[in-house]
Amino acid sequence: MAVKQHFKALVLAFVAFALTVTGVVIAATDSNTSSLAKDPLLLHNYPPRTANLLVTLSTGASFGLSANVAVNFDTNNVDAIVRFPLVVTTAAVELRLLNKHLYARSADVSSGPWLSLAFKTPALFGVALEITKPDIKLISGFTTESITKSGYSTTYTFYRDHVALQSLLGSPKSKSTSTLGSVRWSITVGSGGEVTQSTIRTTSKKSSTTLSVTVLSFNKPVKVVAPSAKDTTPISSAALGRLLNAEKFTSFLIPKDLTTLSQAQVS
């Protein structure tokens, strides 16, 4: 079902997409060993057990959202607080991903009902491995715009034109499935080669979307607890998709073929 697949894309955008840089990361090395101690995110070649992330998704000045995401790579669980700007205030939603279910409720209440949806959790431990020891490979299909060093960090920026883009959730008013645009991808790594930030910007003739993930910390305690069954209300992916399928969300553009973009372009 198309709605189900688009909704999965929305959730994975918060917890996996910008971090799953399989084959699209170049590790940085620092010849000055004295700088290693200054890197607060240094992993010493050990995969992180947890990570706290800041995720932002925006269409410029028209609409945007942010999320604080806590990931436990050992248990394959995720907890996120997603904030949506309203006219005079900000709404917040808490998402929990565990036990093959996605749970959601208002983050403004300490107790209350949860919506629950059967959801296959992505393999997050593989993401942890990619963060720690990304493949050192050249990238084909992208143009390297710049390589910038600042302290113990190195940022690589890549560009690719003529990419098929589609709406994150799809618009019920349009039969168009995709549009051509460009993708600019920047990846920042620390002194040990660990991924500390990744930003993807898609641009078409009429709009642009920027997705950014910043690592705030590694290996701090992250415990995600499933809501009580009596406090949950099951909901179908189609119903939840209808709740989210507003014009604001359909304005988000993502590459139509994420697998091709993230993996097939690596030589």
Q: pTM for the whole thing?
A: 0.75
- Local structure of 25: helix, strand or coil: coil
- Record the tokens describing residue 193, joined without a space: 């080669």
Give the integer Cα–Cα distance in Å for 191 and 67: 26
Share of the chain above pLDDT 90, in %: 28
- Tokens found for residue 176: 């168009």
Average pLDDT, integer, range 53-74: 87
Mind listing the pLDDT tens digit for each residue in 7-20? Answer: 444 444 443 433 43
Structural domain harbouring 97: 2-264
Q: CA 145, CA 211: separation in Å to the nearest integer?
A: 19
- Please tell me the distance from the alpha carbon of residue 65 to that of residue 222, in angstroms, as a whole number: 23
Residues 26, 30, 32: CA angle, nearest 5 degrees? 180
* pLDDT at 92 (0 to 100): 85
Share of the chain above pLDDT 70, in %: 66
**For 85-143, how does the pLDDT look when each residue is reduced to its tens digit (9 = 90+)?**
765 566 788 999 999 999 988 887 777 789 999 988 888 998 999 898 776 455 667 88
**Total structural domains within the chain:** 1
Helix H segments across the chain? 2-15, 124-132, 237-244, 247-250, 258-259
The helix/strand/coil state of 168 is coil
Which pLDDT belongs to residue 48? Answer: 96
- DSSP one-letter code for 262: I
Residues in the chain: 267
Short-list 165, 161, 156, 166, CA closest to 141 = 161
Amino acid at 22: T
Q: Residue 79: what pLDDT?
A: 96
CA distance 208 to 202: 5
Residue with tokens 């050990």: 46
Domain with 144 in it: what CATH number?
Answer: 2.50.20
* CA atoms of 255 and 163, how far apart (whole Å): 7
